Amino acid sequence: MDWLQILGVLGLGALSGTIITQLMTNARDRRSQRVAYLKQQLEQFYGPLLAAHKEIRARSELRVKVQQAIDAKHAKAMAEAAVMIAAAGTGEVLTHADLINAASDVHLPTIKTNIEDESQTFREVLMPRYRSMIDTFRDKMTLAEPETREYFARLVEFVDVWDKIIGNKLSRSIAPEINHSEANLAPFYKHLEEVHDRLRGEVAGTEGRLRRLLRCSR
């Protein structure tokens, strides 16, 4: 008589089955709760913060791209004017200056408009995104990993200094003196990416184990 038969004779087979089922149910419930919490972290904290950062970076990269294109056209026009001056020989100095000014003046409206547009975008689009990051951080702090909370002060300082500059309450010349730079947020952005990807991986892994438990419990 093997041990399964012995358990059956003693009436313990059903009990052991009940215990195993309960253990599997408990494990399934724990994993379900873990998945729910991870998704809450992703959807309400890390996801919104990362999305705001990605938008800010995309707009900043576009600004640089547009500015470089404008500067390149301006420089090309100036270079062409210089070639014309060289080809014309000595001539009048005033004529040379007029050629240079004319070549530059054509591009000045575009340069001015772009500067004004970028300034408006910074005030009305980018700064609200930064402020929304602070709001998310403050309102959903309980969903943040302990190491993530350490970056809150950096974010607040960065936004507050810009708000003071925009509101003409602080001179831009003071910014370098207090090491005010978005480079200070680079470790935070890197951390967001890493934690976001790690949590997504954990969700996928936990959901896979949960599916296997459900199959076993049928």
Q: How far is CA 76 from the centre of its chain?
A: 35
Q: Is the pLDDT of residue 46 over 90?
A: yes
Q: pLDDT of 156-215, one tens digit each?
A: 999 999 999 999 999 989 988 999 999 999 999 999 999 999 999 998 887 766 666 556
Distances (CA, A) of 27 to 13, 201, 213: 21, 19, 8
- Report the distance separating Cα 128 and Cα 63, nearest Å: 17
Q: Which residues contact 31 (CB under 8 A, 6 or more apart)?
A: 206, 209, 210, 213
pLDDT given for residue 7 in this prediction: 44
Backbone angles phi, psi at 90, to 5 degrees: -65, -60
Domain ranges, ordered by start, for the chain: 13-217
For the segment 63-68, the average pLDDT, to the nearest whole number, is 92
- Report the distance separating Cα 47 and Cα 192, nearest Å: 9
pLDDT given for residue 105 in this prediction: 73
Average pLDDT, the chain: 82
pTM: 0.76
pLDDT given for residue 180 in this prediction: 93
pLDDT given for residue 27 in this prediction: 57
pLDDT given for residue 24 in this prediction: 55
Q: pLDDT of 14-43, one tens digit each?
A: 545 555 555 555 556 677 788 899 999 999
Distances (CA, A) of 34 to 31, 38, 39, 40, 141: 5, 6, 9, 10, 18
